[in-house]
Chains A and B, each alone.
Chain A
């Protein structure tokens, strides 16, 4: 149990996927102009990341590894995730229309979201077992949601702030991110 908590805290705060590892930056900047949108995107990523890990882990350990096909990892994972996102989209549109309207619109963006692919690769390189992989996936995607929410909140304030003209648009967002990241460095001592 304690190792699961360790994995969770490390992936959620200490190695926050956006602020500490620079993964999925483009949706981080692109989707945070509105708080509602950032939450929708965060939830969609959480949903797909957990599903993707639940699918890629068995594929790697039961199919690729016994047959010595580990080198196909990149090719297989990206195709599996793309297909999975497509299926989830069909399923949601048909069966759970309310959920589809809340987060289905973000699904096309998710195929090329590096966070999901990065999580599946990390699980393999860290030799996690199945339960650890799922906990790791949940923690990473909640970390993603947290970072999205933080920036979306700050952006509400930035709208009405006097910003030097050379910093307008994207540069000020990265400067803000830098300061948020400094705050997150404080979590580094949380786990020995």
Chain B
């Protein structure tokens, strides 16, 4: 496993199995390879369209890398098994789609509360309910944010291409490990099944992060405290003789349950929030196109960012000053940057494959700029001309 100490052997295996170079592959496969390069050696999942190729790739590749693949009885069990494995020191992942993501919400909250690093890939498909199971969509923006109950922070990243899927998965693992938190990859069924060129890197060129382990007895006694001062406690793993108690109930810094003292709950939940908020700048990532001089700003994410870029390029050809902002980290949303960009902009368009979700997040930062959604549902991605028409409309 790529756990501290075994890197040379793992890098040798990775190099031997996956020669660096250009490949033609599906978004789902890229996610799987990204996970393998990031050091994921445990996968528990349940088959669901359009995510199944991730499970299939992991089932095929993980045993070669001395990893573990497990097909669980349902999505609830999948995320549970991952959390168990994560507490023994593994980097863990699962992939699912909307309905499975709904089932995982209970234990996603458990992972937030117990500060368990894991990566959860949601290959968004058209809903609600079974909807158009085989078609892509972007309808889980807020399920990712508020799907589990109670106050909680969440980190979600969203790739825009097959190559991006590889690197965003690596980044998701690094954030999860660094901040001891679950991270969601908000992928979509369109890119998941799109085949594109991707460059598989040399494993030595992939920067990977490991979770902090306790350095002494004292740190190990505070698995939910803040001995390092940055809100991220070191993680005492099971079997290391620390007798760590982990519970989803409100717990003190030493892990023992205390649900009766208001201050204990306040301290715990606020620290879990602070842990993410204080690292926002490291977590956030976005792309900008033509934003230095623009009248119209397009804000789009995931698959819809691609026709949006096409539309912006066409608009520029027509002399319309359009710019594009693509958040790669969608939660926490890079609102500060959006607020800066909105100064002096006449109109904002938000193209997405839903009836308006990202636009609600943008709205929080748009004080007096008119916003307009460019929404499409039905399982077919937005086209350049559909977005261009809207741009002309506000130009």
Tell me, yes or no, whether A binds B.
no
Interface of B toward A, CB cutoff 8 Å: none
